[in-house]
Amino acid sequence: MSNEKSANEGNTVVDGIEINHQWSKSFAFEEAFSQYLHNYISADLEYFSLLRSMYEIKIAEIFSHYPQYFDVFSSCNTNFRVNEDSDQAI
């Protein structure tokens, strides 16, 4: 998995409790899920993010140096894209 640093941050407060709509992308989830894998699936499996130490802007800066991948990049924040050849959402 490759989840970035800001996934650890909450985005709203409800009744004095910080809510993180991206909790499943957070380091807390990463640690808990990794422990679950070790305990119930296999001690040989690791679940971690190589990008955890970076914010999106740094990842974008690095990625900008690899234009050969621009047309095949996908983001979990993108619900759909328009196929330029047909102008239809796919």
pLDDT digits (tens, 9 = 90+) for 63-84: 999 999 988 887 766 655 666 6
Cα–Cα dist 27/45, whole Å: 17
Q: Collect all residues with Cβ–Cβ distance below 8 Å to 38 and sequence separation of at least 6.
A: 45
Quick check: pTM over 0.75? Answer: no
| Residue-level pLDDT at 78 | 62
Is residue 51 within 8 Å of 3, Cβ to Cβ?
yes
Residues of the chain with pLDDT under 70: 1, 76-90
